[in-house]
């Protein structure tokens, strides 16, 4: 049994709900177009299976539990590769198939990840999509949140913008956790507090732009300006997801429906939003139909 702090378990559960819910919409939109989304018709599949977002988050949480809140990069790299080998059909990105296969075959993870994309490393959103529970776990120390989020990112996503995206999500989850039991921060204040913890770069610029958006900004406009993950990169995923989360810190259900409207990399944006909001709210307020449909987390996870 893996014992998690309550906020970390809540964040993990919210991440899995967002991932599984968002992942359903790829097929629905492809088959039926936008009508079902506009009408907010609940996906009718009997099982909402989660994807690699949750699979990797589970690995990260186990690593935190064994490391007493710290990440051993060598061990995490092997655990990510082992989880991939056990279930390769969770929707892993093309570059991650290559990375995790090679690490699993015994190649040094630092060499594998740093040589990706001509030596730049991947700037994908994979390190950001799994990291919210880490922020909730370490919320008492924002410096530790940033350090550990960056460390876990480098194991698979070496590019500075991927690292910054992971730090942004972890800090957002930590701030959401710290607000439990009190009033939700205003969206601009919340996003500015995240941006203050980020290095200069595209992710930081995107979060700062999101903080300046007027309250009446539509989700479609925000997705167009910030990007909603169509490029599956940290810079075009994280600012949009955090803008959605920051506007719905008291309502996970509404936050996920709102996020999916922006299309893009829907499972990942919803996973990030779910992980951040649930770090504050938990998941008990989600409708019973959601709880019945979502693939359960492993029974070894507990508060």
Q: How far apart are CA 139 and CA 64, in angstroms?
A: 13
What's residue 121's pLDDT?
Answer: 67
Distance (Å) of CA 151 to CA 10, 41, 93, 118, 160: 23, 40, 20, 21, 11
On whether the CB atoms of residues 84 and 104 are closer than 8 A, the answer is yes
On average, the pLDDT of the chain sits at 93
This prediction's pTM = 0.96
Q: How far apart are CA 270 and CA 125, in angstroms?
A: 12
The CATH code for residues 2-302 is 1.10.4080.10
Residues 95-151 pLDDT 10s: 888 899 999 999 998 999 988 777 676 778 889 999 999 999 999 999 999 999 999
Phi-psi label, residue 213: left if phi above 0, alpha if psi -120 to 50, beta otherwise? beta
Residues 28-63 pLDDT 10s: 999 989 999 999 999 988 999 999 999 999 999 999
Residues 202-226 pLDDT 10s: 999 999 999 999 999 999 999 999 9
Residues 266-286 pLDDT 10s: 999 999 999 999 999 999 999
Residues 73-89 pLDDT 10s: 999 999 999 999 988 88
Measured from the Cβ of residue 220, the count of other Cβ atoms closer than 10 Å reads 12
Residue 259: partners with Cβ closer than 8 Å, 6 or more residues away: 18, 22, 219, 241, 244, 245, 266, 269, 270, 273
Q: What residue segments make up the domains of the chain, in order of their start? A: 2-302
Residues 154-207 pLDDT 10s: 999 988 999 999 999 999 999 999 999 999 999 999 999 999 999 999 999 999
Q: Is the pLDDT of residue 303 over 60?
A: no
Residues 2-24 pLDDT 10s: 788 999 999 999 999 999 999 99
């Amino acid at each position: 049994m893996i014992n998690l702090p309550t906020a970390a378990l809540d964040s993990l559960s919210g991440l899995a709900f967002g991932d599984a819910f968002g992942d359903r919409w790829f097929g629905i939109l492809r088959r039926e177009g936008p009508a079902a989304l506009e009408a907010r018709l609940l996906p009718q599949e009997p099982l909402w299976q989660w994807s690699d977002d949750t699979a990797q988050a589970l690995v990260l949480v186990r690593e935190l539990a064994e490391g007493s809140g710290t990440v051993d990069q060598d061990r995490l790299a092997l655990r990510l590769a082992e989880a991939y080998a056990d279930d390769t059909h969770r929707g892993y990105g093309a570059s991650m198939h290559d990375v995790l296969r090679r690490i699993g075959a015994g190649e040094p993870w630092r060499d594998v990840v740093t040589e990706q994309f001509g030596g730049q490393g991947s700037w994908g959103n994979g390190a950001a999509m799994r990291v919210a529970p880490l922020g909730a776990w370490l919320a008492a120390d924002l410096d530790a949140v940033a350090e550990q989020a960056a460390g876990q990112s480098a194991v698979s996503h070496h590019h500075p913008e991927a690292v910054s995206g992971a730090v942004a999500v972890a800090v957002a989850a930590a701030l959401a956790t710290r607000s439990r039991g009190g009033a939700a921060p205003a969206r601009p204040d919340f996003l500015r507090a995240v941006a203050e913890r980020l290095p200069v770069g595209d992710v930081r610029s995107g979060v700062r732009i999101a903080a300046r958006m007027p309250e009446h900004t539509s989700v479609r406009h925000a997705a167009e300006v910030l990007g909603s993950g169509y490029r599956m990169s940290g810079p075009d995923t994280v600012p949009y997801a955090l803008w959605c989360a920051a506007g719905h810190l008291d309502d996970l259900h509404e936050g996920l429906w709102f996020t999916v409207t922006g299309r893009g990399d829907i499972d990942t944006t919803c996973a990030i939003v779910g992980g951040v909001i649930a770090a504050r709210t938990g998941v008990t307020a989600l409708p019973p139909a959601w709880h019945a449909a979502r693939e359960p987390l492993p029974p070894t996870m507990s508060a």
